[in-house]
Chains A and B, each alone.
Chain A
């Protein structure tokens, strides 16, 4: 299995631009999670989906952030408009039946 696949691995953009991060979970995993990791705040859960339905989005910082999961094999996290404080590594993870999280390699976002 290829594992959780995220793209892009690196994104550099200017303040005000739209950013879209993509994730393909492991086939057969029914839940998908988006995390953000920074030095200051560590690893924070942004949102998670179960069977493609958003269950808890209380970690989404503000209305500039949105996430979708149109099918079991694809999810997006969108930031519009982006701000410098959004600079972080964004991880996607899916979970197996034992409750073990499998993380992708992350998308490193830099907003100038």
Chain B
């Protein structure tokens, strides 16, 4: 059974304070590691897909990396508008982590 664990559950940062979110996974065969952003009252919004260890993808202040057992979402110099819940998922559709709720204070 696929399992996804995200940490920390909540993260509070000052604007400009860089940090990382973790997603640990166990799967029988990785068919993609997906990151999503979810704003309150909205559906999750796709951010990145990673398929193989060593792969990295970037979008604005976010960079996602992947190893054989975990993925990191690095946030560089965050802004208040980056505040959201960040979800990771494996298999592309079925198993989501519980998410990390990020709050960035101005």
Contact = CB atoms under 8 A, between A and B. Distances in A.
Q: How large is the interface on A (under 10, 10 to 19, 20 to 34, 35 or more residues)?
A: 20 to 34
Interface residues of B, number: 21
B17 interface: no
B80 interface: no
Interface of A, secondary structure class, is strand
Given A43-B96, A45-B94, A99 B87 contact: no
A103 B43 contact: yes
A40 B46 CA distance: 23
Interface string B57-90: 0000000000000000000000000000001010
Interface of B, secondary structure class, is loop
Interface of B: 31-32, 34, 36, 41-46, 49, 87, 89, 92-99
B44 A101 contact: yes
A100 B89 CA distance: 11
Given A103-B44, A104-B43, A95 B87 contact: no
Contacts of A44: 96
A95 B92 contact: yes
A99 B32 contact: yes
B33 to A, nearest CB: 11
Interface of A: 4, 31, 33, 42-45, 48, 56, 59, 91, 93, 95, 98-106
Contacts of B43: 4, 91, 93, 103-106
Nearest to B44: A103
A100 B46 contact: yes
B49 A100 contact: yes
